[in-house]
Structure 1
Amino acid sequence: MDFVTELYKDTTDKVEMALRNQSTLTEFTLVSFPVIQELQILLFVVLLLVYMLTITGNTVIISLIWTDNRLQTPMYFFLSNLSFWGILFTTTITPKLLTCLLEEKKTISFAGCITQIYFSFFLGRVESILLAVMPFDRYVAICNPLRYTIIMNSRVCLLLVLGCWGGAFFSVLCPIIVVSTLPYCYREISHFFCDIAPLLQAACIDTHFIEMISFLLSSLVLLTLLVFTIVSYTYIISTILRIPSAQGHQKAFSTCASHITVVSIAYGSNIFMYVRPNQSHSLEFDKVTGVMTIVVTPLLNPFIYSLRNVNVKEVLRESISRIVPSHSKGT
Structure 2
Amino acid sequence: MKKMNYQEIGNYTKVTEFILVGLSRHPTSQSVVFWTLMFLYIVTLAGNSLIIFLVGGNSQLHTPMYFFLGNLSLLDLLFSTSVVPLIMVNSLYNFSTISYSSCFTQLAFRAFLALAECFLLAIMAYDRFVAISNPLRYNLVMSSRVCIFMALLAWMAALLLTVLPILIFPISFCGQNVVNHFSCEVQAIFKLLCSNTISLQIMMIACAVISMPVPLMFILFSYLCILKAVLRIHPTKARLKAFSTCASHLIVVTIYFGTLIYIYMRPQSKISHNGDKIVSIFYAAVTPMLNPLIYTLRNKDVKAVLRRVNCGVKS
The TM-score, its normalising length taken from structure 2, stands at 0.91
Q: Is the CA contact 1:197–1:280 (under 8 Å) kept in the aligned structure 2? A: no
Segments of 4+ in structure 1 off by > 6 A? none
* In structure 2, distance between residues paired with 1:201 and 1:17: 22
Q: Following TM superposition, by how much is the alpha carbon of 1:197 offset from its aligned partner in structure 2, in angstroms?
A: 2.0
Q: Following TM superposition, by how much is the alpha carbon of 1:324 offset from its aligned partner in structure 2, in angstroms?
A: 2.9
* In structure 2, distance between residues paired with 1:167 and 1:144: 27
1:57 correspondence with 2:47: yes
Q: Following TM superposition, by how much is the alpha carbon of 1:268 offset from its aligned partner in structure 2, in angstroms?
A: 1.1
Q: 1:101 aligns with which of 84, 91, 110?
A: 91
CA RMSD of aligned residues (A): 2.0
- Residue 91 of structure 1 corresponds to 81
1:157 correspondence with 2:147: yes
* In structure 2, distance between residues paired with 1:189 and 1:180: 19
Stretches of structure 2 that go unaligned for 5 or more consecutive residues are 1-8
Q: Following TM superposition, by how much is the alpha carbon of 1:16 offset from its aligned partner in structure 2, in angstroms?
A: 4.8
* In structure 1, distance between residues paired with 2:287 and 2:181: 19
Closer, same or farther: CA 120–206 of 1 in aligned 2, 3 Å: same
Closer, same or farther: CA 197–152 of 1 in aligned 2, 3 Å: same
Q: How does 1:128-139 map to 2 (within 5 A)?
A: 128-139=118-129
Q: Is the CA contact 2:40–2:289 (under 8 Å) kept in the aligned structure 1? A: yes
* In structure 2, distance between residues paired with 1:42 and 1:129: 35
Q: Is the CA contact 1:185–1:203 (under 8 Å) kept in the aligned structure 2? A: no
Percent identity at matched positions? Answer: 37
1:251-289 Cα offsets, whole Å, 9 max, x none, are 112110100110111111111112245364654332222
Q: Is the CA contact 1:211–1:278 (under 8 Å) kept in the aligned structure 2? A: no
- Residue 248 of structure 2 corresponds to 258
Secondary structure at the counterpart of residue 172 of structure 1 = helix
Q: 2:64 aligns with which of 55, 67, 74?
A: 74
- Residue 318 of structure 1 corresponds to 308
Q: What amino acid is the match of 1:162?
A: L
Stretches of structure 1 that go unaligned for 5 or more consecutive residues are 1-14, 326-331
Q: Is the CA contact 2:65–2:127 (under 8 Å) kept in the aligned structure 1? A: yes
The TM-score, its normalising length taken from structure 1, stands at 0.87
- Residue 281 of structure 2 corresponds to 291
* In structure 2, distance between residues paired with 1:94 and 1:321: 33
Q: 2:221 aligns with which of 222, 231, 237?
A: 231
Q: How does 1:298-317 map to 2 (within 5 A)?
A: 298-317=288-307
Q: Is the CA contact 2:61–2:301 (under 8 Å) kept in the aligned structure 1? A: yes
- Residue 4 of structure 2 corresponds to none
Number of aligned residue pairs: give it.
307
1:34-71 Cα offsets, whole Å, 9 max, x none, are 45434211211110111011011000011111111111
* In structure 1, distance between residues paired with 2:97 and 2:135: 54
Q: Following TM superposition, by how much is the alpha carbon of 1:107 offset from its aligned partner in structure 2, in angstroms?
A: 0.9
* In structure 2, distance between residues paired with 1:188 and 1:35: 13
Q: Following TM superposition, by how much is the alpha carbon of 1:212 offset from its aligned partner in structure 2, in angstroms?
A: 5.0
Closer, same or farther: CA 262–298 of 1 in aligned 2, 3 Å: same
- Residue 240 of structure 1 corresponds to 230
Closer, same or farther: CA 241–247 of 1 in aligned 2, 3 Å: same
* In structure 2, distance between residues paired with 1:36 and 1:195: 19
Secondary structure at the counterpart of residue 233 of structure 2 = coil
* In structure 2, distance between residues paired with 1:77 and 1:178: 35
Of 113-122 and 182-191, deviating more is: 182-191
* In structure 1, distance between residues paired with 2:155 and 2:232: 36
- Residue 45 of structure 1 corresponds to 35
1:152-178 Cα offsets, whole Å, 9 max, x none, are 000000000000111101111122346
Closer, same or farther: CA 69–279 of 1 in aligned 2, 3 Å: farther
Of 81-90 and 274-283, deviating more is: 274-283
Q: Is the CA contact 1:125–1:168 (under 8 Å) kept in the aligned structure 2? A: yes
